[in-house]
Structure 1
Amino acid sequence: MMQAKQLEISRLASVAPPTVQAIIDGRLMNAASGKTFPVISPIDGAAIAVLPECDAADVDRAVTGARAAFESRRWAGMPPKMRKRVVLAWAELIAAEALELAVLESRDMGMPIRMAEDLDIGFAVETLRWYGEAADKIYDELANLDDQVSALIMRAPLGVIGAILPWNAPAMIGAWKLGPALIAGNSMVLKPAEDASLVCLRMAELALKAGMPEGVLQAVTGGGEAGAALAGHMDVDCITFTGSAEVGRKIMTAAAASNLKRVSLELGGKSANIVMADAPDLGMAAAVSVDFMFGHQGQVCEAPTRLLVQRKVRDRFVDEVVARADALRIGNPLDLANNLGPVVNGSQRDMILGRIADADREGIRFALDGRAKTLPSTGFYMAPSIAVSNNPRCSLAQEEIFGPVLTVLEFDDIDEAIRIANGTRYGLGASIWSSNLDTVFHAAKRLVAGNINVNGGTGPVVELPFGGFKESGFGRDRSLHAIDKYCDLKNIIIRSSR
């Protein structure tokens, strides 16, 4: 069975990407300028498609169409039960192409095929199903002010939402934004990352096939110019963004300089993974830590890039982590036998190697140096590296690297671990391993992070809100709470005559 699936993956890898144009008002379109850019696969550095390089003119067309769709109420005025049916049908169309989309994702940005199918595409489908089911279950409020006055407190969709996506899990993170915004009745302009646009374009095309009215979901491709045009557009009511802190700041500036549009940001992270000596299963802790840290080459915003180990178990725990990381098989992400694929592009690889070189100059010791590993000769591959430091202020422990580099730090007691964990400008995620519930709750109340896993926790689940504190951003994706950021409240006050 596994061999048959591998053969099918190999066949799909030779199929041309199905959607290679922007989608505006229900039509596939090229950039008005005629400009394009190549899609380079990190597997081997080869071009696998050419996409429109959209600019401000294309973004304006997309926003204008989205506004027209919103004002016509062809989606916002549709009964919630009908919106539910469309979103559920959309989810099923994506699910029917799950393996095709997973192969496309692996080719586009290097995600291992198992992760692409189960995590990125699988959770995108689950997310759209969940929000689709919620569409007709969101109610407004009624307040009786006195015997003759009542007031309806109504959620109103904001209008046109701009969603700028990252490249590391575009289908899943895209669904986290598309689901709540669309069921609330908004229109959307989607701008996927230039390094991971192909699956997003196909998903947008499938939305039309599911019955979503033209103009409700637009998709434009390109780089920074398209993103800047969307962030600064005077007729966009909200920008939701996942990506770097640097770009997040630019989006906030653009929002302030334009129409004071709402902004929701999920930015970087430097998550601490705290391992106490009384962890219920140190072997499981090591296995989960390695999988979470290196499973997508460290290209996960919540990746536990700082491993904090209690001093009395540090050496043997680190030895276990090093052995597991060193055993990971690196190669073509379309091969089911491989654990890790490449990083997303050559620039990312060069940046990561530069950070490792900086650590060398700081005198940081590497218990595992991925630079010594034999890797494929083509593509943008890297092997895991594990640094061991006594300095929680060193560059590897402070800066988000977004690559396969883990930093090990040690501590004596939980309060020292909490101080180290909170000692960065980020506050996205954290983990703690301990059998002592007093220790767990003591830490959980004091860790400055939006998502805290205890003894393994869970992977991404749509039922729980996701987002960070400090420079990891603000606003929450996932859960019913996410719907609120795409709505505003209005009061309708009614006085009766009797």
Structure 2
Amino acid sequence: MADLKVDLTAPNGKKFALPTGLFIGNEFVKSASGAKITSINPTNEEEICSVEAASPEDIDKAVAVARAALNHESWRDISATERGRLLYKLADLAEQEREVLATIETWDNGKPFGDATGDLQEVIDVLRYYAGYADKIHGQTIPTTSQKFAYTLKQPIGVCAQIIPWNYPLAMAAWKLGPALACGNTVVLKPAEQTPLSILYFADLIRKAGFPPGVVNITNGYGKDAGQALASHADVDKVAFTGSTATGKHIMKTASSNMKNITLETGGKSPLLVFEDADIDQAAKWAHAGIMSNMGQICTATSRVLVQASVYDQFVEAFVAVVRTTSKVGDPFAEDTFQGPQVTKTQYQRVLSYVESGKAEGATLATGGKPSPIGGKGYFIEPTVFTNVKPGMRIYREEVFGPFVAIAVFGDEAEAVAMANDTTYGLGAAVFSRDVERAHRVAGRIDAGMVWINSSNDSDFRVPFGGVKQSGIGRELGEAGLAAYSQIKAVHVNLGQKL
């Protein structure tokens, strides 16, 4: 394994040894094809290192190892309480290595170090939450007749493929690993090719925590190779995916080959509604957090801001002021940086293309919209605000996935709800109003999996997360997250009825 590690020194001076192999059967191994993924630092566009990239042959091996682990007594017959202890141990190790893991995420992804540290706390919290649930997953007894008895068992689904996005690499991995392992499944996890590094360091912690070989396998690879092989694999029982709607649709179609169980968390174009009786200053601050955090690379980002006509100008003035004074763009390792670079050159160019689209369609560029390199390098973009946006414009309808907000106007409550629902997406929504009755009424009428009242993008590991329409299928987090990784078996017992 020594030749599958590289010694690195991060820009913040942190030194660590990073595994670079595929993690299969608790060992770091080379790719069968010899393919590599080169990770690029989005801050200065320089190479960090290269890691092994899984081929379909490697996926076959990982799935076979996961299947063997599922049926092996070391995992199959382990007590649910012991599964919980393993998850607790993994959380403890993540806490001990929190600074290194956050450093890797910032270096590889570009998010501010403070944000990456917060993400690691979520990783720890999620793992501990599901560790506590591991021995509390129960079936039921069901009364039928005096001569019959029935009960149910909650059992693991089997071998689970998990495909992770690049915007929250470790946090999204924890959202999926926690409930999957608590329910007794085995996993083949494919990280995003854009951010392959932090999960490899985390993989070493899985082994140190004491999980049996093959229970968790990490197969860095490209979507067209490793992702496709996982989604189509005949011996995979479930696929869980977080990413774009287009890719989610492809995975859903591919998974139909053997009718895999699926969980999809896909795109969004979430509305934020500001009514005339709202606290405008608070609405402006929450709207800023709801779209500009994590460089706008958030599936739930409230990127469509709908404002009642009577307070439209007041809100725009307040919001633009918050953006200009708060969204400091800079080195993600600097303490005062709010916004780092976009994750890749491709994403950077995508955001800039939407700036040109907004201008061409007649929206007003109120602030930002320009590259903001540091020393001529990096995928930095000024936070961008368009006003006077119409519902037919691309910037209003399509997911940009960057620090980019479109502000439109509505007249009354009915129009606000209609505009909010006029989208193929349905992930999140926010409502700002001091009228409690109206806030709850509007929240109930918006087609979304989550609604925030007088805030934006609140998330808690104890609360279900997911969308409707083309924003996904199923729920993660909370008790609801367990349903995605367990299946119910009914057992009928004949107590004496004779035919």
Indicate whether 1:358 and 2:357 are aligned.
yes
| Paired residues of 2:25 and 2:217 also in contact (CA < 8 A) | yes
Provide closer, same or farther for how the CA distance between residues 376 and 444 of structure 1 changes in structure 2, counting only shifts above 3 A: farther
Q: Secondary structure at the match of 1:465?
A: coil
Distance 1:457 1:421 in 2: 15
What is aligned with 2:310? 312
Distance 2:481 2:492 in 1: 27
| Paired residues of 1:330 and 1:375 also in contact (CA < 8 A) | no
What is aligned with 1:223? 222
Indicate whether 1:414 and 2:425 are aligned.
no
Q: Secondary structure at the match of 2:370?
A: helix
| Paired residues of 2:287 and 2:456 also in contact (CA < 8 A) | no
Indicate whether 1:212 and 2:211 are aligned.
yes
Taking the TM superposition and a 5 Å limit, the aligned residue runs for 1:83-98 are: 83-98=83-98
Report the residue type matching 1:252 in the other structure.
M
Post-superposition offset of 1:458: 6.4
Provide closer, same or farther for how the CA distance between residues 351 and 390 of structure 1 changes in structure 2, counting only shifts above 3 A: closer
What is aligned with 1:77? 77
Distance 2:10 2:190 in 1: 29
Distance 1:394 1:264 in 2: 31
Q: Secondary structure at the match of 1:356?
A: helix
What is aligned with 2:155? 156
Post-superposition offset of 1:276: 1.0
| Paired residues of 1:76 and 1:184 also in contact (CA < 8 A) | no
Q: Secondary structure at the match of 1:370?
A: coil
Distance 1:228 1:445 in 2: 38
| Paired residues of 1:266 and 1:473 also in contact (CA < 8 A) | yes
Return the TM-score normalized by structure 1.
0.95
Return the TM-score normalized by structure 2.
0.95
Post-superposition offset of 1:77: 2.1
Report the residue type matching 1:142 in the other structure.
T
Distance 2:109 2:389 in 1: 35
What is aligned with 1:4? none
Post-superposition offset of 1:370: 2.8
What is aligned with 2:5? none
Post-superposition offset of 1:454: 0.3
Taking the TM superposition and a 5 Å limit, the aligned residue runs for 1:27-426 are: 27-118=27-118, 120-224=119-223, 225-256=225-256, 258-279=257-278, 281-327=279-325, 328-371=327-370, 375-426=374-425
Report the residue type matching 2:437 in the other structure.
D
Distance 1:484 1:89 in 2: 24
Distance 2:294 2:17 in 1: 22
Taking the TM superposition and a 5 Å limit, the aligned residue runs for 1:459-474 are: 459-474=458-473
Report the residue type matching 2:303 in the other structure.
T
Report the residue type matching 2:428 in the other structure.
G
Taking the TM superposition and a 5 Å limit, the aligned residue runs for 1:483-498 are: 483-497=482-496
Provide closer, same or farther for how the CA distance between residues 373 and 58 of structure 1 changes in structure 2, counting only shifts above 3 A: closer
Provide closer, same or farther for how the CA distance between residues 95 and 483 of structure 1 changes in structure 2, counting only shifts above 3 A: same
Q: Secondary structure at the match of 1:75?
A: helix
Unpaired stretches in structure 2, ≥5 consecutive residues: 1-8
Indicate whether 1:452 and 2:451 are aligned.
yes
Q: Secondary structure at the match of 2:28?
A: strand
Post-superposition offset of 1:178: 0.7
Distance 2:72 2:334 in 1: 48
Q: Secondary structure at the match of 1:490?
A: strand
Report the residue type matching 1:232 in the other structure.
S
The alignment yields a C-alpha RMSD, in angstroms, of: 1.6
Distance 2:99 2:25 in 1: 28
Post-superposition offset of 1:197: 1.9
| Paired residues of 1:331 and 1:376 also in contact (CA < 8 A) | no
| Paired residues of 1:17 and 1:198 also in contact (CA < 8 A) | no
| Paired residues of 1:365 and 1:388 also in contact (CA < 8 A) | yes
448-457 or 215-224, larger mean C-alpha shift: 448-457
| Paired residues of 2:290 and 2:457 also in contact (CA < 8 A) | no
Distance 1:478 1:372 in 2: 36
Distance 2:268 2:17 in 1: 32
Q: How many residues align?
A: 487
Post-superposition offset of 1:100: 1.1
| Paired residues of 1:167 and 1:193 also in contact (CA < 8 A) | yes
237-246 or 309-318, larger mean C-alpha shift: 309-318
Distance 2:77 2:214 in 1: 14
Distance 1:184 1:305 in 2: 36
Post-superposition offset of 1:376: 4.6
Distance 1:20 1:300 in 2: 27
Report the residue type matching 1:461 in the other structure.
D
Post-superposition offset of 1:33: 1.2
Distance 1:454 1:355 in 2: 29
Provide closer, same or farther for how the CA distance between residues 127 and 325 of structure 1 changes in structure 2, counting only shifts above 3 A: same
| Paired residues of 2:10 and 2:104 also in contact (CA < 8 A) | no
| Paired residues of 1:140 and 1:155 also in contact (CA < 8 A) | yes
Distance 2:95 2:81 in 1: 21
Report the residue type matching 2:285 in the other structure.
A
Report the residue type matching 2:247 in the other structure.
V
Post-superposition offset of 1:20: 1.8
Post-superposition offset of 1:66: 0.1
Report the residue type matching 2:235 in the other structure.
D
Post-superposition offset of 1:185: 0.4
Post-superposition offset of 1:173: 1.3
Provide closer, same or farther for how the CA distance between residues 331 and 11 of structure 1 changes in structure 2, counting only shifts above 3 A: closer
Distance 1:357 1:69 in 2: 52
Distance 1:324 1:233 in 2: 49
Provide closer, same or farther for how the CA distance between residues 239 and 436 of structure 1 changes in structure 2, counting only shifts above 3 A: same
Distance 1:467 1:492 in 2: 32
Post-superposition offset of 1:492: 1.4
Distance 2:218 2:371 in 1: 42
196-205 or 150-159, larger mean C-alpha shift: 196-205
Distance 1:290 1:13 in 2: 32
Post-superposition offset of 1:393: 1.9
Report the residue type matching 2:202 in the other structure.
M
Post-superposition offset of 1:94: 0.3
Distance 1:46 1:10 in 2: 12
Q: Secondary structure at the match of 1:153?
A: strand
Provide closer, same or farther for how the CA distance between residues 272 and 333 of structure 1 changes in structure 2, counting only shifts above 3 A: same
Q: Secondary structure at the match of 2:455?
A: coil
